[in-house]
Amino acid sequence: MRLINVENLELEEFVDDEIPPYAILSHRWRDGEILFKDMQSETKVTKAGYRKIKQCCDRAKSDKLQYLWVDTCCIDKSSNDELTESINSTYEWYQNAAVCYVYLFDVHDADLTDDSNFRNSAWFTRGWTLQELIAPSDVEFYNSSWLQLGTKAGLGELISEITNIDLVVLKGSDPKNFSVGKRMSWASERMTTRKEDMAYCLLGLFGVNMPCMYGEGERTFIRFQEEIMKYSDDQTLFAWSRTDGDLRGLLARSPADFRGCHNIVTSDTKLNEEPYSITNKGLSIELPMVAYAMKTYLVALDCNVENTPNSRLGIFLTLLSEKGQYARVSINGKDTHLFDSELIPCCEYRQVYVRQAICGSCPPSDRIYGFWLRKLPLRFSLNYPSISFGLLNVESWNEWFDDERILAIPTGSRGTAGVFSYGVDDNSIVSLKLGFDAMFNPVCNIEGTLWDRVSDLPKSGGLMDDEWLDTRQPSIFVGDRETGLDINLTEYKLSIADAVFDNRKVWAVDITVNSRIDHAYERCCVEKVSYFPCAPSDPSTRRNTPESSVDYSSDSEVSVTFNPERQLHKIEERLKHIEKRVTEYSLYRDNGI
């Protein structure tokens, strides 16, 4: 460590155990500062910064100190090794100083009755001066004429108000007793000339050592946070907020992102016990989460608002197309959200990878969190007036409109989007349930078939429960969150695919009846309505009716030679046979036969 001898303004070098008591200067750099190379030259007395050094030496002498340390002239910045050592040691040097003199070139008054000059000093806005305020136990403030304004102890409340630093820290409490997020917030309004220094000026405050590499830009602050994670599991590190709309990682871009974290502390009860680390796939971490919006989860962090019950914080992670990959996003302009304690039993723990740099990915688009029933079969529509049917019931989060047919889940909810039931020909009911599983794969459940003769209308109350989403049975089909769903059965075709409704992306549901079965059914219904509008449904009442001949030329196509009552009875029997085969086919398919 080099020190200036205050008697002759010459540099002297000391090893650790031999370092004498010394004063240290904290100041804002200006043009004409005396540098290390200038200390070997007689011309140093001609530079603008000489007067500041000389008066600081005089102040040290008056305090009976023989040595002084000044950053501008005690570090050889041409040596990268020495620069790295100095940056990693600066906090300790300020901490070990007998006294720290703060020189405020832009404060001219000596009376703090009107503290506006003092309050607005540039010294309070610089990154490096944060550690220079906190680390030393004895700090004295001087104006531009070297008249003392006060001490850190005496001006503590005013300085705390200006800097948002807790008063107990200014009185000597160890900063390491405070959360990572709170400490970051102390630097959130400060600046440095070089982006890299915004990380380097905080090393000592977090007890971190790392090599100095200028030219990295904002990457240095990411590297700094990665170093913090090696020694701390304090998740207030993730409690920052930025609402620029981009996909991003779990680590902040700069201390400015922690502007709102001055009252964020670690939780007494931890939900996340597993260690986390940086891998070549991103930050690997296990987190408890619940579905919140389309492809987006609300994730619980182990931190909360200070002195506020039930105030655990959550952040939003969205699924990316790569397996296990997630990115951080904002929802409705918010980057963090309270994670209510009632949600904890609903949490699913998931090991995720969160890349810091997301290449080739776009921010999530405005997407309807639900389904658009775009295409329904004939007997689900009003285009065939001769068939008696109708919409019997709709259960959904949102208000149902026949001309839109949207089932939407509100932000913050999850699971089932809705259920709707149709009556077909007065006797059969088809119920279609739609929702998303835990990975936001679209899921549908069709209860009843297009041919059922008698079925009960599903009872409301349990319709919107989510248990069915984890059930596997022939009537439940699970799609893929990237590609949707496409199934083609003997009876019908069902697809769920990306579409655009009202300028927003949405999953569009298309259900169509296979043409041959649809043709046979329609002919049956038309002939029944046309010739027997009051025909009894019980076949036993038709024993004395005229016969008809029916030629079933294939399993899926019906050729009718009309002979009224007998023909209708046989068509109904044939449709039951088709339904049986469809059910058998579904069972074979689901069992891999």
Q: Does domain 367-513 have CATH number 2.60.270?
A: yes
Distance between CA atoms of residues 24 and 33, nearest Å: 16
Measured in whole angstroms, the distance separating CA 575 from the mean position of its chain's CA atoms is 52
How confident is the model at residue 541, as a pLDDT? 35
> Per the structure block, which two tokens stand in for 107?
């404060």
Contacts of residue 96, Cβ cutoff 8 Å, sequence gap at least 6: 19
> Residue 239: what pLDDT?
97
Check if the beta carbon of residue 56 is closer than 8 Å to that of residue 101.
yes
Question: Is the distance from CB of 336 to CB of 357 less than 8 angstroms?
Answer: no
Q: Are strands 504-513 and 367-375 parallel, antiparallel or unpaired?
A: parallel
Does 562 have pLDDT greater than 50?
A: no
Question: Which residues lie closer than 8 Å to 199 by C-beta, 6 or more apart?
Answer: 220, 221, 223, 224
Distance CA 478, CA 434 (A): 10
Alpha carbons 368 and 410: distance in angstroms, whole number? 9
pLDDT of residue 361: 53
Residues in the chain: 593
pLDDT at 571 over 80: no
Residue 6 has pLDDT above 60, yes or no: yes
Q: In what order do the strands lie in the sheet with 485-488?
A: 406-408, 367-375, 504-513, 492-501, 485-488
**Alpha helical stretches, state H, 380-532:** 515-531
pLDDT at 556 over 80: no
Whole-number Å distance between alpha carbons of 238 and 215? 25
Report d(CA 202, CA 95) in Å as an integer: 14
Residues with Cβ within 8 Å of 474's Cβ and at least 6 positions away in sequence, in order, are 583, 586, 587, 589, 590
Type of residue at 484? G
pLDDT digits (tens, 9 = 90+) for 172-215: 999 999 999 999 999 999 999 999 999 999 999 999 999 999 99
What's the confidence (pLDDT) of residue 186? 98
Among 193-202, 222-231, 426-435, name the one with the lowest average pLDDT. Answer: 426-435
Structure tokens given for 335: 């980057």
79 Cβ contact list (under 8 Å, min separation 6): none
Query: What number of other Cβ atoms are within 10 A of residue 245's Cβ?
Result: 11
**Beta-bridge partner residues of 306:** none
Residue 566 binned pLDDT confidence (cut-offs 50, 70, 90): low
- What single string gives the DSSP state of each residue in 342-363? GGGGG-EEEEEEE-SS--S--P
Distance, in Å, from the CA atom of 550 to the CA atom of 571, rounded to the nearest integer, reads 8
Domain parsing of the chain, residue ranges? 1-173, 223-364, 367-513, 516-590
Q: Residues 360-378: what's their mean pLDDT?
A: 74
Give Cβ neighbours of residue 506 (< 8 Å, ≥ 6 apart).
367, 368, 370, 371, 372, 406, 498, 499, 500
Q: Phi and psi at residue 505, in whole multiples of 5°?
A: -70, 150
331 touches 366 (CB < 8 A): no
Phi-psi region for residue 426, left (φ > 0), alpha (ψ -120 to 50) or beta? left
pLDDT in tens, 495-550: 999 999 988 899 999 988 766 555 555 554 444 444 333 333 343 433 333 333 33
Angstrom distance (rounded) from CA 385 to CA 389 = 9
